[in-house]
Structure 1
């Protein structure tokens, strides 16, 4: 990894206890070339008259098989095939409908495509293969669609008023694709982003590395992400990379290349402005995998530099569980911690581009 220059910026402390200043390193790093997402092989359809899936009719199974076949013809990944089936489930229940609804009275077919010229003729929209092909081609034109949550990827094409409309149909789509295809597949363990599912406790890869307090504020204490080892910012940036499908060097998101304006992501103090500069969404509702941002003084954070952590679990009682580093009093300040926090305490939640705040 090439390091063009090295600079130091004072960073934060810990919520609840003022421990003193620690440091974050600003390394202007050569941007890493993003690795292509591996979202599973294209599934081949295996279906006959004896194929049965609990809860689904033969009509629905045949239409799902048509969608899978259209995806295979266009070399669509397994994840893309699942998204396509999910959207059809959410739009028509995997049925070729010859009617629309209130918002779209001219919608027709498996994907409820409108009569606006974008989806072909009436006959095209009522043809399962042609309508599925049209949807898949539109999906493939969405930049970064394989890194989006399935419901958000589908909504980029369908433009439903509720971007999370399709979320409840995802388990059914996975079930159908696995039942109708030539093998059992899992989206876990590959480089396709799975927001909110990355991480299992303290899986930070540099947990045994020396801190800047042990070896000095220099290159020996700098992680491959361009932050100091075992600081809150390094752990949070590791989680961002992990959820975006980048789990090994060269990492996709670094301190020195995160912001498009050439500035370093820097200390916790500047993470909110870094998110804004990158155009990534922020909000006030916790979502698993989102970065928790504490402005200076919020929730007991350092009055000058603030703090960042990551949402590990969202509860039904108005609280969430956060995880991070540098959140305990000494001598455990540079180790992993979790704690339960009220939703109102943080200053903001910084979402990945794969996430949006549910309104």
Structure 2
């Protein structure tokens, strides 16, 4: 096989010693990784009489500031504060409403909280700070909320019918929180905004380790995850572990223990089958942190083994940014890459249990 093709998609115990290629001819463009934000802690409100955000009144901004202030008092991260503002936008447009709706005629306040005893008195629900505090305590009680998509995290607290109801309010919430905090942090492209560490850039811990081409197909080329170092599958499995809270040895998900039937997760070729065997969801919608699966030959991937990557960012124009390893021909193989891809190109997206496809 030509040395101009890149090594990709090798799993140590399944395909030892094989060398195969991957050239993505469909790529729209290469995007450099952005550094993670320096501060993912609470954002401090810097609201004064001159603060303006296009499309929002002084009353709405004052209510958003109250939400952020409640979050800071509870040591809620900037991401959590933004989720809280997003939910208030989706429920009331950042207004203290003294009326409900058809599904909830007794709903009141910024968060449209019900009169069921869970959200305090009528006065509590109508008070921006108290109602925000109660919402945030509910958010913090959701196991792993930081790993969820913002709209899913909000839905776990509010329990509204459509879990994706809040999704369209996220960009506006980011804009408002940035404006009210003086713009001293950025959610875009940082681990503050994304599940796990997806999107944080090239934080793969074995980026300087030798590939199997350099040392042969022996155990010296095996990462702690049981894949060959600097292969697409090893990077993707690293991201899976991160997002499920396993960031150091002993790692929770390995090539040899991922599938409940005892088979190895294997090369990229078998990842879809591995997901199915584990009972994890798949779908056609890109979600940040989901594994991108290319069947053999799809999108220019290797005709025998395909390719896997990870969704780094979802765009509004029908594309997403994927990140991965070993997706370029030599001399850029076995290294980190990002690029924008049409959402219709991959065979499917492999979701983690804390992700789901909109129905």
Shift of 1:62: 2.0
Shift of 1:288: 5.4
Asked if 1:259 corresponds to 2:264, the answer is: no
Aligned with residue 9 of structure 1, among 14, 39, 63: 14
Shift of 1:112: 0.9
Unaligned runs of 5+ in 2: 1-11, 25-37
| 8 Å contact from structure 2 (residues 178, 186) kept in 1 | no
Shift of 1:220: 1.4
Distance 1:169 1:329, change over 3 A: closer
Shift of 1:67: 1.4
Partner of 2:344: 343
Partner of 1:33: none
TM-score of the two chains, using structure 2 as the length reference: 0.72
Unaligned runs of 5+ in 1: 1-6, 18-37
| 8 Å contact from structure 2 (residues 191, 200) kept in 1 | no
Give distance in 2, aligned partners of 1:344 and 1:188: 24
Give distance in 2, aligned partners of 1:275 and 1:210: 28
Shift of 1:109: 0.9
Give distance in 2, aligned partners of 1:199 and 1:126: 38
Partner of 2:33: none
Q: Map Cα deviations across residues 236-279 of structure 1 (whole Å, 9 max, x no partner).
A: 22444567788x75596642587385955433344335435666
Distance 1:314 1:95, change over 3 A: closer
Asked if 1:61 corresponds to 2:55, the answer is: no
Q: Map Cα deviations across residues 129-175 of structure 1 (whole Å, 9 max, x no partner).
A: 22212111110111111122222211111123332222232233233
- Greater shift, 80-89 or 331-340, is seen at 331-340
- Greater shift, 235-244 or 139-148, is seen at 235-244
Question: Counterpart of 1:139 in 2: which secondary structure?
Answer: helix
Question: Counterpart of 1:10 in 2: which secondary structure?
Answer: coil
Q: Map Cα deviations across residues 85-109 of structure 1 (whole Å, 9 max, x no partner).
A: 1110111011111112233333211
Distance 1:115 1:277, change over 3 A: farther
Partner of 1:23: none
Shift of 1:314: 6.8
Give distance in 2, aligned partners of 1:42 and 1:335: 34
Give distance in 1, aligned partners of 2:161 and 2:128: 24
Question: Counterpart of 2:80 in 1: which secondary structure?
Answer: helix
Partner of 1:198: 199
| Aligned residue pairs, count | 330
Partner of 2:128: 128
Distance 1:231 1:48, change over 3 A: closer
Partner of 1:143: 143
Alignment of 1:34-53 (within 5 A): 40-53=40-53
Question: Counterpart of 1:96 in 2: which secondary structure?
Answer: coil
Give distance in 1, aligned partners of 2:185 and 2:283: 34
Partner of 1:22: none
TM-score of the two chains, using structure 1 as the length reference: 0.72
Partner of 1:73: 73
Give distance in 2, aligned partners of 1:329 and 1:101: 57
Partner of 2:3: none
Shift of 1:128: 2.0
Distance 1:204 1:47, change over 3 A: closer
| 8 Å contact from structure 1 (residues 255, 266) kept in 2 | no
Partner of 1:173: 173
